[in-house]
């Protein structure tokens, strides 16, 4: 009798747990904190019934990917996506462009000419130290840096610069406009990076779902939370279409 009651209670508990359809893994360096970004994404009618996991650092995403079977992912261009596991569905865009350029910013005139004296670079810790070193070299091939200091939060980059902990920072100009609002210091633009592709939405290879199509209708607020304003479908030829 007790076993029967326990079984009934257990079944009722299982039935009361929230059920999710697809699983979406998001790795992004958005200004929105991971927990808040997850809430923002869940407010989109297209995503509210699906499981969403958000990460701001590559090592955290990689760790989760060992155990989670993501049906869909949103990943930056620099993430090494395995073509035998995932295929690109949508390219996220900003003001009609699929790429952007990082800026090298300083607050001191003496660092305008960084070719003659390599500075200490501040950067957001999304890729880990080794990967960030390689990434910085690839997008700023003309420059060398004495070393790279990583910040765990995007919003701390500008204070690092203002306090003199670093001499220059590399930053998305959209993020810069947000984090310098309360600062009286005027940033000095040294240079811009090579073009860097904005994130893409990927689907697990062979996975069939209504979301394969309906993700094209993500709300503007959802896209803005991801740091973009639109998306384009990636064609089988590798191009994009609206």
Q: Are residues 219 and 152 in the same domain?
A: no
Q: Are residues 91 and 202 in the same domain?
A: yes
Range of the domain at 22: 2-95+197-241
Q: Are residues 43 and 123 in the same domain?
A: no
Q: Are residues 64 and 125 in the same domain?
A: no
* Confidence at residue 95, expressed as pLDDT on a 0 to 100 scale: 93
* Confidence at residue 238, expressed as pLDDT on a 0 to 100 scale: 56
* Confidence at residue 16, expressed as pLDDT on a 0 to 100 scale: 37
Q: Are residues 183 and 201 in the same domain?
A: no
* Confidence at residue 190, expressed as pLDDT on a 0 to 100 scale: 92
Model confidence pLDDT, tens digit, residues 129-180: 888 889 999 999 999 999 999 988 888 888 899 899 999 999 999 888 887 7
- CATH number for position 140: 3.40.190.10
Model confidence pLDDT, tens digit, residues 179-210: 777 777 789 999 999 999 999 999 999 999 88
Model confidence pLDDT, tens digit, residues 52-99: 999 988 888 989 998 888 999 999 887 888 778 899 999 999 999 999
Indicate the pLDDT class of residue 11, thresholds 50, 70 and 90: very low
- CATH number for position 216: 3.40.190
Q: Are residues 49 and 78 in the same domain?
A: yes
Q: Is 91:198 a contact under the CB 8 Å cutoff?
A: yes
Which two structure tokens, joined as six digits, stand for 66?
């060992």
Q: Are residues 54 and 91 in the same domain?
A: yes
Instruction: Give mean pLDDT, residues 109-128.
Output: 85
Q: Are residues 6 and 64 in the same domain?
A: yes
- How far is it, in rounded angstroms, from Cα 214 to Cα 231? 12
Q: What are phi and psi of 202, to 5 degrees?
A: -115, 155
- How far is it, in rounded angstroms, from Cα 101 to Cα 44? 29
* Confidence at residue 20, expressed as pLDDT on a 0 to 100 scale: 53
Report the number of distinct structural domains present in the chain: 2
* Confidence at residue 236, expressed as pLDDT on a 0 to 100 scale: 65
When the pLDDT of each residue in the chain is averaged and rounded to a whole number, the result is 85
Q: Are residues 106 and 190 in the same domain?
A: yes
């Amino acid at each position: 009798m007790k076993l029967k009651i326990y079984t009934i209670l257990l079944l009722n508990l299982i039935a009361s747990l929230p059920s999710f359809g697809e699983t979406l893994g998001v790795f992004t360096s958005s200004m929105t904190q991971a927990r808040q970004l997850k809430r923002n994404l869940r407010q989109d009618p297209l995503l509210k019934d699906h499981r969403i996991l958000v990460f701001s650092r590559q090592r955290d995403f990689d760790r989760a990917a060992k155990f989670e079977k993501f049906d869909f992912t949103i990943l930056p261009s620099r993430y090494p996506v395995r073509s035998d596991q995932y295929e690109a569905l949508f390219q996220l865009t900003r003001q009609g462009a699929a790429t952007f350029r990082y800026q090298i910013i300083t607050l001191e005139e003496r660092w305008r000419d960084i070719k003659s004296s390599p500075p200490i670079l501040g950067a957001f810790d999304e890729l880990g130290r080794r990967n960030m070193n390689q990434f910085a070299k690839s997008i700023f091939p003309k420059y060398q840096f004495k070393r790279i200091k990583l910040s765990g939060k995007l919003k701390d980059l500008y204070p690092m610069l203002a306090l003199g902990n670093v001499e220059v920072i590399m930053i998305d100009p959209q993020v810069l406009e947000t984090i310098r609002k309360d600062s009286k210091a005027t940033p000095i633009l040294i240079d811009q990076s090579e073009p860097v592709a904005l994130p893409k939405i990927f689907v697990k290879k062979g996975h069939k779902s209504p979301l394969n199509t309906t993700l094209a209708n993500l709300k503007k607020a959802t896209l803005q939370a991801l740091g973009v304003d639109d998306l384009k479908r990636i064609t089988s030829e590798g191009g994009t279409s609206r």
